[in-house]
Amino acid sequence: MNIHEYQGKEILSSFGVRIQRGTVAKNAKEAVDAAKALTEQTGTGWHVIKAQVHAGGRGKGGGVKLAKNLKEVEEIAGEIIGMNLVTPQTSAEGKKVHQVLVAEDVYYPGDSEPEEYYMSVLLNRATGRNMIMYSTEGGMDIETVAEETPDLIFTEEIDPSTGLLGFQARRIAFNLGLSGKAFKEMTKFVMSLYEAFEKSDSSLFEINPVLKTSDDKIMAVDAKVTLDDNALFRHKDYAEMRDVREENATEVEAREVGLNYVDLDGNVGCMVNGAGLAMATMDLIKQAGGEPANFLDVGGTADAKRVEEAFRLILKDDKVEAILVNIFGGIVRCDRVAQGIVDASKNMGDAMNVPIIVRLQGTNADIAKELIDNSGLKVYSAVQFQEAADKVQEVLS
């Protein structure tokens, strides 16, 4: 589950990670009140107004702006709230901004220039261990750094039996070229950041930039935090951070009825049981020259009601031109699934307006095929996996 920058910072801060402080605001007046309160607390006269949407690159899209007085706070907040923010990470329509983070300006002048670093914590899937990835090249796209100057990206892998060790945090501070107070601050930052990552059951932290202020404080200016959905039962307070306005409406609906659905860009809707078979089905559609419109795992109980719910979800997507049902009848009998498909098609009537290719294998597959073939519906049955994919191509061309 993704959360907003301000929520990510709340989590970091609760584990002692220093953050750029701020308050979230839903309108220009709240923004001004937040700025006043921040000035009292931090002494800052300048504020940054930051659009809160689930997408990076907000600065580039005009969603992060500096306000030098309260009048500018009001103007900028008024301008950003309600706008459709387009960034390199959103679609062309952009994302509607419902709230901004009013934050203290932390790029103030001082003894030295502020410096921006990049730091993320994530799982290295190749080794099965967490790692901290970091770079002196903060503030910019890490993909660009990886492409142009890969030697400026460092990693530190963590042994799960010892956790992050002090020398590793010191090595990070050293590789970032720090010394003195900034060095100590960085080791403390890294240790608390990793503790936060583990204890919050996160699957990704991306802090870009981590800032060294002109007076050598180290802090998180940005925070992209992805929480592990499967651990949310342990963190009721984090679960409440979900903002469904930021999520795909069909995916939200699917979650509510207990279906595993991920929206994709193609034109072939997929209804499959089991995540592995769903992945294989998507591969086969691609190999046959099509593009999957979604990933959908209906799970073990593919009865008529569930099948109908799944069809309705898939058909919400206007791009869908055909649906491939690929179900293995292991626990669930194929004839029951087939009956479910026939009933669902009849119930849905005109709403079911695209050809359906059905492949049912396993217990009672032959009875299932008969049911489909004799239903009088515009449903094509297939026996082999390849045959199903070929049929999809046939109906599309």
Say how far apart CA 159 and CA 57 lie, in whole Å.
32
According to DSSP, residue 123 is labeled: E
59 versus 299: smaller Cβ distance to ligand GDP: 59
CB 326 within 8 A of CB 385: yes
Q: Is 118 annotated as catalytic?
A: yes
From 32-40, 53-61, 248-256, 262-270, give the range in contact with ligand GDP by CB under 6 A.
Answer: 53-61
Distance CA(263)–CA(265), nearest Å, equals 7
Cis peptide before 88 (omega within 30 of 0): no
Which CB atom, from 5 or from 297, has the smaller least distance to Mn ion? 5
Q: Name the 3-class secondary structure at 72.
A: helix
Which one from 104, 115, 116, 206 is the annotated catalytic residue?
Answer: 206
CA neighbor of 337 nearest in space, from 313, 294, 372: 372
- Inter-CA distances, 305 with 150, 311, 344, Å: 52, 10, 7
Rounded CA separation 4/157 (Å): 27
d(C-alpha 84, C-alpha 92), whole Å: 10
Site map 130..159 versus ligand GDP, x via CB under 6 A: ---------x--------------------
List 6, 117, 118, 380, catalytic entry: 118
Cα–Cα separations (whole angstroms), residue 14 to 200, 261, 266: 10, 33, 42
Q: Does 297 bind Mn ion (CB under 5 A)?
A: no
> Which positions from 207 to 226 touch Mn ion by CB under 5 A, shown as an x/- string?
-x-------------x----
Q: Which is nearer to ligand GDP, 210 or 323 (CB)?
A: 210
Least Å distance, CB 276 to Mn ion, is: 36
Does 74 interact with Mn ion (rule: CB under 5 A)?
Answer: no
Question: Is residue 56 a contact residue for ligand GDP (CB under 6 A)?
Answer: yes
CB of 139 to ligand GDP, least distance (A): 4
Would you count residue 244 as binding ligand GDP (CB under 6 A)?
A: no
Task: List the structure tokens of 254.
Answer: 């699917």
Site for ligand GDP in 219-238 (CB under 6 A): 221-222
Active site residue 206: yes
Q: Which residues bind ligand GDP (CB under 6 A)?
A: 48, 50, 56-59, 64, 66, 105-107, 139, 208-209, 221-222
